[in-house]
Structure 1
Amino acid sequence: MMGLKQDALAYQLGDDWNQQKVSLLEQKETIEVDILKQVSGILKVPVEAFENFDEEQAVNIISNTFNDQSNGYNYYPNFHFNPLDKMVELYERMLQQQKEMIDRLEKLIEKK
């Protein structure tokens, strides 16, 4: 999910979770609201994005964006964002996740 490994998501969901349980969660048609809210918070994606997700529409958007051959050539989309800004955003998000992981590890060490 969103580049987050199942083990990492399981860790963030709590002690009752493991990689297998997250894998089963990903296969479910419906997910309990409290779990959905937890996952939403971890992934920093609004709950509505999950609730309103339409797989067919997502596949069509991806397909149309990257496979438009109306001119006989592969179409390379003209993105309306600065790639450097996205890299900085990704880096900042990774730093924040690392800080959160360190905090969790420190709390676990303190418990022992």
Structure 2
Amino acid sequence: MSTVTKPNHIGRKISRIRELKDMKQEALAQALGTNQQAISIMENSETIEEEKLMEVAKALGVSVEAIKNFSEEGVFNYFNTFNDTNNTGAFNFGTNHCTFHPLDKLMESVDENKKLYERLLQAEKDKIEYLEKLLKAK
């Protein structure tokens, strides 16, 4: 049995995108307000109405063009660029050059958390003081 797909088999493209997103047919069916059998039929269809295709694209979180232009080779080429050693990969990060020291940022967040805690503690003390004043007034 061959797994080679026809170039414009939209249903199979939807199926592969759904699988790559680790989504079951039931989940896609629920997002579209239908049942799993309808998704199975749709994925076996070579063509799909444009309006339905837009709904499916939205449910999958991709564009209609992404579905229409999907190819297995493109997916493999995309992921293979992550291993390029000449820094021309998918995101072209090159080497890591931080413009800040990560520990400095961590300590800043610790200081911010400490200040927030102190403000929260002071607010609680003020609340207790106010409640005690109310009790003494009675």
TM-score between both structures, scaled by the size of structure 1 = 0.47
Bigger radius of gyration among the two:
2
Relative contact order, higher structure (CA 8 A, sep 6+):
2
TM-score between both structures, scaled by the size of structure 2 = 0.39
